[in-house]
Amino acid sequence: MSSALSPKVQNQIAMLQQMQQQMQTIGAQKAQYEMAVREAKRATEELTDVPDDAPVFMSVGTVMMEKKKEAVLKNLTEKIETLELRIKSLEKQETLLSGKFEQLQAQIKQALEGKSPGAS
Protein backbone atom coordinates (compact mmCIF):
# COMPACT_ATOMS: atom_id res chain seq x y z
CA MET A 1 0.00 0.00 0.00
CA SER A 2 2.91 2.34 0.61
CA SER A 3 3.51 2.47 -3.14
CA ALA A 4 0.05 4.06 -3.49
CA LEU A 5 1.12 6.90 -1.20
CA SER A 6 2.44 10.04 -2.83
CA PRO A 7 6.12 10.84 -2.33
CA LYS A 8 5.06 13.88 -0.30
CA VAL A 9 3.08 11.74 2.16
CA GLN A 10 5.88 9.17 2.34
CA ASN A 11 8.30 11.99 3.18
CA GLN A 12 5.93 13.36 5.83
CA ILE A 13 5.64 9.91 7.43
CA ALA A 14 9.45 9.62 7.52
CA MET A 15 9.65 13.07 9.15
CA LEU A 16 7.01 12.02 11.68
CA GLN A 17 9.02 8.94 12.63
CA GLN A 18 12.16 11.07 12.97
CA MET A 19 10.31 13.50 15.26
CA GLN A 20 9.06 10.60 17.34
CA GLN A 21 12.64 9.39 17.84
CA GLN A 22 13.76 12.91 18.77
CA MET A 23 10.96 13.16 21.35
CA GLN A 24 12.00 9.80 22.85
CA THR A 25 15.64 10.94 23.03
CA ILE A 26 14.64 14.22 24.70
CA GLY A 27 12.44 12.33 27.16
CA ALA A 28 15.27 9.97 28.07
CA GLN A 29 17.72 12.85 28.56
CA LYS A 30 15.19 14.71 30.68
CA ALA A 31 14.63 11.66 32.89
CA GLN A 32 18.40 11.28 33.31
CA TYR A 33 18.80 14.93 34.36
CA GLU A 34 15.83 14.71 36.73
CA MET A 35 17.37 11.69 38.42
CA ALA A 36 20.71 13.52 38.78
CA VAL A 37 18.88 16.49 40.36
CA ARG A 38 17.14 14.19 42.86
CA GLU A 39 20.49 12.58 43.77
CA ALA A 40 22.21 15.95 44.21
CA LYS A 41 19.33 17.30 46.33
CA ARG A 42 19.45 14.19 48.50
CA ALA A 43 23.20 14.57 48.96
CA THR A 44 22.67 18.23 49.90
CA GLU A 45 20.05 17.22 52.48
CA GLU A 46 22.38 14.60 53.95
CA LEU A 47 25.22 17.12 54.18
CA THR A 48 23.12 19.56 56.21
CA ASP A 49 23.12 17.02 59.07
CA VAL A 50 26.92 16.64 58.99
CA PRO A 51 29.00 18.83 61.34
CA ASP A 52 30.99 21.56 59.54
CA ASP A 53 34.32 20.10 60.68
CA ALA A 54 33.53 16.53 59.65
CA PRO A 55 35.56 15.12 56.73
CA VAL A 56 33.54 15.22 53.50
CA PHE A 57 34.59 13.41 50.36
CA MET A 58 33.66 14.22 46.79
CA SER A 59 34.12 12.16 43.66
CA VAL A 60 36.36 13.90 41.13
CA GLY A 61 36.45 11.64 38.11
CA THR A 62 37.66 8.28 39.36
CA VAL A 63 39.23 9.73 42.54
CA MET A 64 37.63 10.53 45.89
CA MET A 65 38.96 13.77 47.35
CA GLU A 66 38.47 15.31 50.77
CA LYS A 67 36.87 18.75 50.48
CA LYS A 68 35.40 21.28 52.85
CA LYS A 69 31.69 20.82 53.48
CA GLU A 70 30.84 24.29 52.17
CA ALA A 71 32.74 23.64 48.91
CA VAL A 72 30.86 20.40 48.34
CA LEU A 73 27.52 22.09 49.10
CA LYS A 74 28.37 24.91 46.68
CA ASN A 75 29.33 22.39 44.01
CA LEU A 76 26.09 20.45 44.50
CA THR A 77 23.99 23.64 44.38
CA GLU A 78 25.65 24.69 41.10
CA LYS A 79 25.12 21.21 39.68
CA ILE A 80 21.41 21.33 40.60
CA GLU A 81 20.99 24.78 39.02
CA THR A 82 22.73 23.71 35.80
CA LEU A 83 20.69 20.51 35.52
CA GLU A 84 17.43 22.36 36.17
CA LEU A 85 18.28 24.81 33.37
CA ARG A 86 18.96 21.89 31.03
CA ILE A 87 15.63 20.31 32.03
CA LYS A 88 13.78 23.56 31.24
CA SER A 89 15.53 23.74 27.88
CA LEU A 90 14.55 20.13 27.10
CA GLU A 91 10.96 20.84 28.15
CA LYS A 92 10.83 23.76 25.67
CA GLN A 93 12.20 21.51 22.93
CA GLU A 94 9.70 18.83 23.88
CA THR A 95 6.77 21.26 23.70
CA LEU A 96 7.91 22.69 20.37
CA LEU A 97 8.49 19.26 18.86
CA SER A 98 5.19 17.95 20.18
CA GLY A 99 3.33 20.80 18.47
CA LYS A 100 5.11 20.17 15.18
CA PHE A 101 4.46 16.44 15.55
CA GLU A 102 0.71 16.93 16.05
CA GLN A 103 0.56 19.36 13.13
CA LEU A 104 2.36 16.97 10.79
CA GLN A 105 0.25 14.06 12.03
CA ALA A 106 -2.91 16.02 11.17
CA GLN A 107 -1.55 16.83 7.69
CA ILE A 108 -0.79 13.17 7.02
CA LYS A 109 -4.21 12.10 8.29
CA GLN A 110 -5.87 14.70 6.08
CA ALA A 111 -3.83 13.59 3.06
CA LEU A 112 -4.69 9.93 3.66
CA GLU A 113 -8.39 10.59 4.19
CA GLY A 114 -8.72 13.27 1.52
CA LYS A 115 -6.69 11.56 -1.20
CA SER A 116 -7.27 14.58 -3.43
CA PRO A 117 -6.15 13.52 -6.92
CA GLY A 118 -3.59 15.70 -8.67
CA ALA A 119 -2.61 17.52 -5.49
CA SER A 120 1.15 17.81 -4.97
For the stretch 60-74, pLDDT in tens is: 899 999 999 999 999
3-state secondary structure at position 36:
helix
Q: Does residue 119 lie within any of the structural domains?
A: no
108 contacts 16 by C-beta, under 8 angstroms: yes
Which domain, by its residues, includes 57?
2-114
Q: Does residue 120 lie within any of the structural domains?
A: no
Q: What is the largest CA-CA distance in the chain?
A: 79
3-state secondary structure at position 76:
helix
Q: Does residue 76 lie within any of the structural domains?
A: yes
Comparing CA positions, the residue from 110, 111, 103, 113 lying closest to residue 8 is 111
Q: Does residue 72 lie within any of the structural domains?
A: yes
CATH of the domain at 64: 1.10.287.370
3-state helix, strand, coil in the chain (%, to 5): 75, 10, 15
Give the confidence band of 112 by pLDDT, cuts at 50, 70, 90.
confident
pTM score of the predicted model: 0.80
